[in-house]
Amino acid sequence: MNAFEIAKRISFQKQKNYTRFIVRLSIAATAISVAAILITLSIVNGFQQTVSNKVYGFWGQIRISSVNGAPLEGNESIEKNLSKIKFVESVVPFLNQSTVLSFEQDIEGVVARGLPANSPTPFLIKGRGIKNKNDSLSNEVVLSDQLATTLNITVGATARLYFLNLGDVQQRKLKVVGIYHSGIEDYDKQFILVDIKLLQQLNNRYNQIEGYTIALKKGAKIDEINDEVQEQMPTNWVATTIKDYYPQIFDWIGVQTVNRNVTITIMLLIAIVNLLTCLFILMLERIPMIGTLSALGATQKFIRQVFLYQASIICWMGIGLGTTMGIGLSYLQQKLGWIQLDESAYFIKTLPIQFDWVQIAAVVMGTAIISYCSFLIPTLWIKKIAPAKAIKFD
């Protein structure tokens, strides 16, 4: 009989004893640790990706503006050159201006964000985006659901905007054609979307912009592309990543990585300590067997193999069960969304899940390798067991 057969028999023997209980307890503890690690990874990945995409969806990954914050003149040549850069998905000019939004008796101070008509509207949940015909000025506006609720405005209603320019108040009537919801309260309560030509007309500067937002394709390295964009900038133009514009948001996102690493480290330690304790107890219980095998001529290497196989069986069963539990629970959350969050605090309403199969494979193999290396420590104790005393101990 080889070492693996012996390990399998003593691990899964049917009679009730401490070995059977300890094996099951260790499998369960290992499974819970692995499942907790996988769930933590999927949650943190989903959270970081979802929040980042919300900020990027509103501002793009890179913003171009003047060094001193002064308005720029739109440059089609620069736009075309930037669009040719690899991984650049779109280059969109924008212009922001403070205004007062009024509907019936209610007013609200907001910022009108001017974008080209017919361009995609981020986070649109109702109605449509701003459109125009024959490149004419569009008298339409898209509001956030928060502003729409505050002012009791619905799609199709007409709202008024009051702009202060050079000491004069200018009024514009705009039709509400859409409602957006980003989930980031600072954006939803502050920004409305209008045709950029409306703001340019108010300022009597029909080529004036505040800058450009550059959206990148999936997989792009933001910092590298930002450097490439900067190389094409005229004097006094600067390209800045959105991470640098909103460091407080991305620093907060980065903190989740620290929390993730701490959680994974703790769960790995729990799994390893559990398996080591289990192996020590199993060896203590099998002292008579160790003595008998030694008396029959079994080498220390053979005996160590028996316990290493036994520990490996426990480890892999725990990892397999834990992987199934972790992926299964994460998948249920991804499909059903049964865990809800406070959107005002976390920017997202439903706990997001994102699988990274490379990370999952790394957790499985890493846990197995670390556990196996740890198993070698208690098996060294076998050398100190004298066959005569072990059999007498029985």
Question: Can you tell me whether residue 330 is helix, strand or coil?
Answer: helix
Q: Where residue 253 falls among pLDDT bands split at 50, 70, 90? A: confident
Q: Is the pLDDT of residue 28 over 80?
A: yes
Strands 88-103 and 106-115: antiparallel
Q: Round the average pLDDT of the chain to a whole number and report it.
A: 84
The pLDDT tens digits for 343-388 are: 888 888 889 999 999 999 999 998 888 877 777 766 665 555 555 4
The percent of residues above 70 in pLDDT, for the chain, comes to: 85
pLDDT of residue 142: 95
pLDDT of residue 294: 62
* Contact partners, residue 61, CB within 8 Å, separation at least 6: 214, 215, 216, 220, 222, 225, 241, 242
Q: Where residue 268 falls among pLDDT bands split at 50, 70, 90? A: confident
> Which of 225 and 268 is assigned the larger pLDDT?
225
The pLDDT tens digits for 104-141 are: 888 899 999 999 988 888 899 999 999 987 778 889 99
Q: Is the pLDDT of residue 277 over 70?
A: yes
Q: Which of 272, 286, 277 is nearest to 17 (CA)?
A: 286
The percent of residues above 90 in pLDDT, for the chain, comes to: 36
pLDDT of residue 379: 61
The pLDDT tens digits for 147-161 are: 999 999 999 999 999
The pLDDT tens digits for 7-17 are: 666 666 655 55
CA angle 114, 213, 223 (to 5 degrees): 160
pLDDT of residue 181: 92
* Contact partners, residue 356, CB within 8 Å, separation at least 6: 41, 42, 45
What is the mean pLDDT of the segment spanning 78-91?
90
Among the residue ranges 256-260, 277-281, 354-358, the one predicted with the least confidence is: 277-281
Crossing angle for the helix pair 357-379 and 247-285, to the nearest 10 degrees:
30
Q: Is the pLDDT of residue 393 over 80?
A: no
